[in-house]
Amino acid sequence: MSGMEDDSVFDGGFGGPGPEDFANGAAALAAGLIREAQGLAQAAAALRATAAPNPPGVAGGEPVSDIRRQRMVLHTAGEAALRAALALDAAALLAESRAPAEQAARIAEAARKVGLPPATLAPFLRSAALDFRTDDAAARIAASTLATDLCALLAQDSSGRTNPA
């Protein structure tokens, strides 16, 4: 019997991402979350700068004059900063080798600590999975799988059901 006819040839890890691929996928998701956090932090800084009055003698744009608009801008800046901090926390948690259910539970706990629903992170995870910066197909599949699992678990946690972690 030749090797091509023997089905056991494909028993050596073929058919899906392996543990190393999932580790690489988690690292790629963490890097994507850091990029998301950077964008949010830049937005928060820009919003705060818009609301801040210019010192005398410094040229610049006109500050927000209406106090209601200024409150809205500062509130939005604060929300962006909180989401950036949450994305950084989630990136750090993804760096730890844990089961997705345990990672989701810890991310949900971090979200609740800053007063945000756990599912807040879902769009960032999906974006990080799409913004994959390597041609490693197995790691890409693993990252997409991990992001999908985490998003489902975070949505489940946000709906009030208990997480199986």
* Assigned domain for 124 exists: yes
* Assigned domain for 4 exists: no
* Assigned domain for 128 exists: yes
Q: Which position has the higher pLDDT, 14 or 81? A: 81
* Assigned domain for 9 exists: no
pLDDT category of residue 10 using cuts at 50, 70 and 90: very low
User: Cβ distance 24 to 132 under 8 Å?
Assistant: no
Residue-level pLDDT at 85: 94
Burial class (CB in 10 A: 0-12, 13-18, 19+), 58: exposed
φ, ψ of residue 15 to 5 degrees: the values are: 110, -10
Q: CA 80 → CA 14, 36, 127, 142, distances in Å?
A: 42, 11, 16, 28
Residue-level pLDDT at 67: 78
User: Cβ distance 149 to 29 under 8 Å?
Assistant: no
pLDDT category of residue 153 using cuts at 50, 70 and 90: very high
Q: What is the mean pLDDT of the chain?
A: 82
* Assigned domain for 130 exists: yes
For residues 139 and 134, what is the distance between their CA atoms, to the nearest angstrom?
A: 9
* Assigned domain for 7 exists: no
For residues 57 and 151, what is the distance between their CA atoms, to the nearest angstrom?
A: 50
Residue 116 is part of which domain span? Answer: 18-53+62-158
* Assigned domain for 136 exists: yes
Query: Which tens digit of pLDDT belongs to each residue from 16-51?
Result: 788 889 999 999 999 999 999 999 999 999 999 888
- Does pLDDT of 82 surpass 50? yes
pLDDT category of residue 162 using cuts at 50, 70 and 90: very low
Number of independent structural domains in the chain: 1
Residue-level pLDDT at 65: 64
Nearest CA among 102, 94, 97, 96 for reference residue 164: 102
* Assigned domain for 163 exists: no
